[in-house]
Amino acid sequence: MPDRSVVEMTRRALAGFCARLRDVVSGAWGLRAYEQYLRHLRAHHPGTQPMSREAFFRSDQAARWEGVRRCC
């Protein structure tokens, strides 16, 4: 039977890995971009009405991919 400290160390390492993986995936898919946009808007443009999540997503995708003219 494994020592409790080894099991705990393994559990913590796995939890840390999963947290980092979640951060990478959500960052790559732009999942946190809308929340960052809202924070920026509140801090720097307090009177401005924010875009809906859907409108922001469309705008963000257009800004990222509109000028791409290559295959790879």
Q: For 44-70, what is each residue's pLDDT tens digit?
A: 999 999 999 999 989 988 887 887 667
pTM (2 decimals)? 0.54
Mean pLDDT, range 8-16, rounded to an integer: 92
pLDDT of res. 28: 67
Do the beta carbons of residue 51 and residue 59 sit within 8 Å? Answer: yes
Type of residue at 22: R
Compute the distance between CA of residue 41 and CA of residue 29 in angstroms, rounded to an integer.
21
pLDDT of res. 41: 94
